[in-house]
């Protein structure tokens, strides 16, 4: 068991299954899976449509520790129907967030002076395209429940999202991720609302070619989202790197973590509206145009340089780019 956890640390986050990510992100030997495969809770809807099921419905949920902090973990598995959210998958995700907030309420009622390092946190490793079509209506309703639970966590439980898996984080889960307090990505992570194929369908192949991987990455990938400020921390592609970044975040006071979020208050919406204005003024044809606006004189070079060099060199979009 111990060697296994240590082996996990070195592994590529991109190549890791949901369960490995969940186990490896928290301290060694502390992860307890909740509603795991032994309970055989699978989709009741897929068999009616002649589809195979998984006994975890494509998501691993559980609790672990980072130091003394209880960490409620959800980790989506992209190899099962693209990590899509159905009734059971959605309920597990919704409830893990709710459990963290309820634990917080109970702990703080019993002891209002409870040290911050012992208060619960939520960590979600996203790998999903959003709603599962086979049970679309239930999946949709689960997204609304998730946003509701996220709001319940405000002022109490920090939510950290990790994006660095094959499928990325798209569809409705794209805005769920935006509602997290902190987003940690690798350069292989992708985050957005509308998947590339749908944009191509909408705008035509000349405007957006979904098969152009470089284009897709620079529009939705970790490096771009880091420049935009939508990704707070950009890390190397290993479970250890994600875990270290997560630990660095979770030792901060709650207020500092909450301040890192992109949205969730009038002031943050007003700042985002300044960015929208910038979009209108500069009418970027490509993400690289925005990188240039942010002060990167040679945006082409940003794509391929090694990560540490990128992090040292890159200029991010900040208030100073907004012309006053």
CB 155 within 8 A of CB 234: no
Residue 232 contacts residue 260 (beta carbons within 8 Å)? yes
Tell me how far, at minimum, the Cβ of 99 lies from other proteins, in Å. Answer: 6
**Smallest gap from residue 298 Cβ to other proteins (A):** 19
Residue 33 parent element (H or E): strand 32-33
Smallest distance, other proteins to C-beta of residue 252, A: 19
The answer to whether residue 131 forms part of the interface with other proteins (CB under 8 A) is yes
* Near other proteins by CB under 8 A: residue from 264, 307, 316, 321: 264
Q: Could you say which residues in the range 2-31 bind other proteins, by CB under 8 A?
A: none
Nearest approach, Cβ of 224 to other proteins (angstroms)? 8
186: enclosing H helix or E strand? strand 182-186
Please pick, from the candidates 43, 125, 186, 296, the single residue that binds other proteins as defined by CB under 8 A.
43
Binding letters toward other proteins, positions 288-307, x by CB under 8 A: --x-----------------
Q: Residues for the chain: how many in total?
A: 324
Tokens of 111: 């002891």
Q: 225: closest CA among 184, 258, 170?
A: 184
Q: How far is the CB of 108 from other proteins (least distance, A)?
A: 11
Residues 153-212 that bind other proteins (CB under 8 A): 154, 171-172, 174-179, 191-194, 198-199, 202-203, 207-208
- Contact map string, positions 222 to 261, toward other proteins, x by CB under 8 A: --xx--x-x-------------------------------
Residue 14 vs 136, nearer CB to other proteins:
136
Q: How far apart are CA 292 and CA 300, in angstroms?
A: 10
CA 202 and chain centroid, separation = 26
CB atoms within 10 A of CB 133: 13
Please provide the DSSP assignment of 96-143 as one string.
HHHHHHHHHHHHHHH-TT--GGGS-EEEEEE-B-SB-GGGHHHHHHHH
Looking at the DSSP bridge assignments, the partners of residue 208 are none
**Near other proteins by CB under 8 A: residue from 95, 128, 186, 238:** 95
* Cβ nearer to other proteins, comparing 4 with 268: 268
Under DSSP, the state recorded for 205 is: T
313 binds other proteins (CB under 8 A): no
């Amino acid at each position: 068991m111990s060697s296994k956890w240590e082996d996990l640390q070195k592994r590529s986050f991109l190549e890791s299954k949901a369960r490995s990510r969940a186990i490896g992100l928290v301290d060694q030997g502390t992860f307890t899976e909740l509603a795991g495969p032994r309970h055989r809770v699978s989709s009741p809807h897929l068999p009616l449509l002649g589809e195979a099921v998984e006994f975890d419905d494509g998501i691993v949920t559980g609790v672990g520790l980072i130091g003394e902090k209880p960490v409620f973990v959800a980790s989506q598995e992209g190899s099962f129907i693209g990590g899509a959210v159905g009734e059971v998958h959605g309920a597990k995700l919704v409830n893990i967030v709710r459990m963290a907030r309820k634990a917080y309420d109970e702990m703080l009622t019993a002891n209002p002076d409870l040290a911050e390092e012992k208060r619960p946190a939520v960590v979600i490793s996203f790998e999903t395209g959003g709603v599962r079509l086979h049970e679309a209506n239930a999946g949709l309703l689960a997204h609304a429940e998730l946003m509701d639970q996220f709001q319940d966590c405000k002022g109490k439980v920090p939510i950290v999202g990790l994006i660095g898996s094959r499928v990325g984080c798209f569809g409705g889960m794209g805005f769920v991720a935006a509602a997290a307090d902190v987003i940690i990505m690798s350069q292989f992570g992708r985050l957005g609302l509308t998947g590339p194929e749908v944009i191509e369908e909408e705008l035509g192949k000349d405007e957006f070619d979904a098969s152009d991987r470089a284009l897709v990455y620079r529009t939705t990938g970790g490096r771009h989202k880091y420049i935009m400020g939508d990704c707070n921390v950009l890390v190397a592609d290993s479970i250890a790197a994600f875990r270290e970044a997560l630990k660095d975040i979770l030792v901060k006071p709650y207020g500092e973590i909450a301040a890192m979020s992109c949205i969730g208050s009038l002031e943050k919406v007003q700042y985002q509206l300044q960015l929208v204005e910038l979009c209108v003024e500069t009418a970027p044809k490509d993400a690289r145009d925005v990188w240039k606006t942010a002060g990167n004189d040679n945006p082409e070079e940003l794509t391929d340089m090694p990560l540490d060099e990128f992090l040292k060199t890159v200029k991010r979009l900040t208030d100073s780019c907004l012309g006053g």
